[in-house]
Amino acid sequence: MFLPKTKLARSEALSGYLYIMPWILGFLLFTAIPIIASIYLAFTSYRGYGDINWIGFANFTKMFTGDDIFWQSAKVTLIYVIGFLPPGLVLGYSIALLMNRDVPGITFFRTIYYLPAILTGVAVAMMWQFVFHREFGILNSILGWFGIVRISWLNDTRWVMVAFIIMGLWGVGSGMIIYLAGLQSIPSDLYEAATIDGANPWQKLWKITIPLTTPVIFFNLVTGMIATFQIFTTAFIMTEGGPNYATYFFSVNIYHTTFRSLRLGYASAMALVLFLLILGLTSIVLYTSSRWVYYSGGVEVDA
């Protein structure tokens, strides 16, 4: 049924697969097989040594009924997602709207806003430790001008999440670039027609700009959601999950369970739960997308 019919077609198909062989090999060895192994391990009590014993759903039962730290991880991860994703999307979009103007020096501003997206890792985490320092950090100094009392950003269980959200919002530049691309693909004659019809800028935004950029909003929402649920590096370096497990995100929990406890079976089960959670939410977004995403000039896709 699916096989190519003619000899020529078969030969070309074979060539095609051979061309992508390097990627297939890498994908199988470093992604597909480890994922399948991990899903299998989720139902075992493997600890990195000794036998791999199948225990069915015992890991999941323990996780949902007997593990306070699991629920704490889920809670703080969800708080972070809800606290960061919507403001991040709105902020990225707003900045993109600003960057879409043709004023002199706009390229310079676009570069500045995009720079945080290319800085990563330990250096950034250390820089933020300086910024968030209670006594000598820049942030508290600036807040002090407005008479706001010093906040212990990284050592206060209530403010540490806000600190992480601020760090996340600092990096909205990467989303901004994609929004910008979307904004620039809107045909300008639509705006001209709207002006002739007497539309004000607000109406243009809601009736033309936003509907026509829903594909990029959708893209950023899905990729942003997937990435945000997996937040790890900053928490691991700056707070190690603390204080009092306030930044003990899902990934931090999985890391500690894997590399400190070596409870590989249990950690695989947690990873599987995270995977299914992200999969579920992404599916919901995909399912509802047909109602609010407008692809201009394309074929309407049924849900």
Contact set with other proteins (CB under 8 A)? 8, 11-12, 14-15, 18-19, 21-22, 25, 29, 47-50, 68-69, 129-130, 133-136, 152, 154-159, 240-245, 248, 256, 259-264, 266
Q: Of 94, 93, 51, 38, give the one whose Cα is nearest residue 264.
A: 38
Instruction: State in Å, rounded, how far the first CA of the chain is from the last one.
Output: 26
**Residue 133 or 204: which CB sits closer to other proteins?**
133
Q: How far is the CB of 88 from other proteins (least distance, A)?
A: 25
The answer to whether the beta carbons of residues 80 and 249 sit under 8 Å apart is yes
Q: How far is the CB of 143 from other proteins (least distance, A)?
A: 14
Q: How far is the CB of 241 from other proteins (least distance, A)?
A: 6
Q: How far is the CB of 130 from other proteins (least distance, A)?
A: 6
**Residue 21 or 142: which CB sits closer to other proteins?**
21
**CA–CA separation, 208 vs 188, rounded Å?**
10
**CA–CA separation, 180 vs 216, rounded Å?**
9
- CA 134 and chain centroid, separation: 29
**CA–CA separation, 182 vs 280, rounded Å?**
27
**CA–CA separation, 187 vs 210, rounded Å?**
13
The answer to whether the beta carbons of residues 114 and 178 sit under 8 Å apart is no
Q: How far is the CB of 72 from other proteins (least distance, A)?
A: 10
User: How many CB atoms sit inside 10 A of residue 122's CB?
Assistant: 12
Q: How far is the CB of 245 from other proteins (least distance, A)?
A: 5
**Residue 40 or 159: which CB sits closer to other proteins?**
159
Q: Which residues in the chain belong to E strands, given as ranges?
A: none
CA distances from 103 to 100, 188, 303 (A): 9, 17, 41
49: which DSSP letter?
S
Q: How far is the CB of 273 from other proteins (least distance, A)?
A: 17
Residue where the block lists tokens 């950034």: 124
Beta bridge partners of 54: 44
Q: Cβ neighbours of residue 207 under 8 Å, at least 6 residues apart?
A: 194, 199
**Residue 39 or 52: which CB sits closer to other proteins?**
52
Q: How far is the CB of 6 from other proteins (least distance, A)?
A: 12
